[in-house]
Protein backbone atom coordinates (compact mmCIF):
# COMPACT_ATOMS: atom_id res chain seq x y z
CA UNK A 1 0.00 0.00 0.00
CA UNK A 2 2.64 2.54 -0.98
CA UNK A 3 0.06 5.09 -2.17
CA UNK A 4 -1.70 5.11 1.22
CA UNK A 5 1.64 5.58 3.01
CA UNK A 6 2.41 8.51 0.74
CA UNK A 7 -1.02 10.07 1.30
CA UNK A 8 -0.67 9.86 5.07
CA UNK A 9 2.98 10.98 5.09
CA UNK A 10 2.10 14.11 3.09
CA UNK A 11 -0.83 14.95 5.36
CA UNK A 12 -3.38 14.37 2.60
CA UNK A 13 -5.55 12.00 4.60
CA UNK A 14 -7.75 14.89 5.68
CA UNK A 15 -8.17 16.15 2.12
CA UNK A 16 -11.40 15.26 0.40
CA UNK A 17 -10.82 12.39 -2.00
CA UNK A 18 -12.49 12.20 -5.39
CA UNK A 19 -15.26 9.65 -5.78
CA UNK A 20 -14.66 7.53 -8.85
CA UNK A 21 -17.25 5.31 -10.47
CA UNK A 22 -16.34 3.14 -13.42
CA UNK A 23 -18.96 1.33 -15.50
CA UNK A 24 -17.13 -1.44 -17.30
CA UNK A 25 -14.45 0.20 -19.40
CA UNK A 26 -16.86 2.58 -21.18
CA UNK A 27 -17.84 5.27 -18.67
CA UNK A 28 -16.04 7.07 -15.86
CA UNK A 29 -17.72 9.41 -13.36
CA UNK A 30 -15.48 11.59 -11.18
CA UNK A 31 -17.33 13.39 -8.39
CA UNK A 32 -15.34 16.26 -6.97
CA UNK A 33 -13.85 17.15 -10.36
CA UNK A 34 -13.09 20.85 -10.21
CA UNK A 35 -11.02 21.35 -13.35
CA UNK A 36 -9.75 19.91 -16.60
CA UNK A 37 -5.99 19.72 -17.03
CA UNK A 38 -5.66 17.74 -20.26
CA UNK A 39 -8.25 16.81 -22.86
CA UNK A 40 -7.11 14.70 -25.78
CA UNK A 41 -8.76 11.86 -27.69
CA UNK A 42 -6.55 9.27 -25.94
CA UNK A 43 -5.73 10.95 -22.61
CA UNK A 44 -7.89 13.05 -20.31
CA UNK A 45 -6.87 14.46 -16.91
CA UNK A 46 -9.26 15.94 -14.36
CA UNK A 47 -8.34 17.86 -11.21
CA UNK A 48 -10.08 16.94 -8.00
CA UNK A 49 -8.78 19.05 -5.15
CA UNK A 50 -5.09 18.21 -4.74
CA UNK A 51 -5.43 15.08 -6.84
CA UNK A 52 -5.45 14.42 -10.57
CA UNK A 53 -7.26 11.51 -12.22
CA UNK A 54 -6.12 10.54 -15.72
CA UNK A 55 -8.05 8.27 -18.05
CA UNK A 56 -6.05 6.71 -20.87
CA UNK A 57 -7.81 5.02 -23.78
CA UNK A 58 -9.47 5.76 -27.12
CA UNK A 59 -12.23 8.09 -28.25
CA UNK A 60 -12.44 9.74 -24.81
CA UNK A 61 -15.10 12.45 -24.55
CA UNK A 62 -16.41 14.45 -21.62
CA UNK A 63 -20.16 13.95 -22.00
CA UNK A 64 -21.08 15.98 -18.93
CA UNK A 65 -19.23 18.46 -16.70
CA UNK A 66 -20.66 20.93 -14.21
CA UNK A 67 -17.57 22.06 -12.28
CA UNK A 68 -18.24 19.44 -9.63
CA UNK A 69 -18.69 16.18 -11.49
CA UNK A 70 -17.39 14.93 -14.84
CA UNK A 71 -18.63 12.03 -16.94
CA UNK A 72 -16.18 10.58 -19.44
CA UNK A 73 -17.18 8.12 -22.17
CA UNK A 74 -15.03 6.11 -24.54
CA UNK A 75 -12.82 3.04 -24.35
CA UNK A 76 -11.01 3.39 -21.02
CA UNK A 77 -7.86 1.26 -20.94
CA UNK A 78 -6.20 2.60 -17.80
CA UNK A 79 -6.67 5.03 -14.90
CA UNK A 80 -3.79 6.94 -13.31
CA UNK A 81 -3.77 8.90 -10.06
CA UNK A 82 -1.35 11.61 -8.99
CA UNK A 83 -1.07 14.49 -6.57
Per-residue confidence at 17, pLDDT binned at 50, 70, 90?
confident
pTM: 0.79
Strands 19-23 and 27-31 turn out to be antiparallel
Asked if the 2-82 domain carries CATH number 2.60.40.2000, the reply is: yes
Kindly report, residue by residue over 25-39, the tens digit of the pLDDT: 999 999 999 999 999
Domain limits of the chain? 2-82
Give me the phi and psi of 21, to 5 degrees please.
-125, 125
Q: What is the pLDDT of residue 78?
A: 97
Amino acid sequence: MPLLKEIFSKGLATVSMPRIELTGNRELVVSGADGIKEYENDRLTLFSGRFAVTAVGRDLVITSYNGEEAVVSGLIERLEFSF
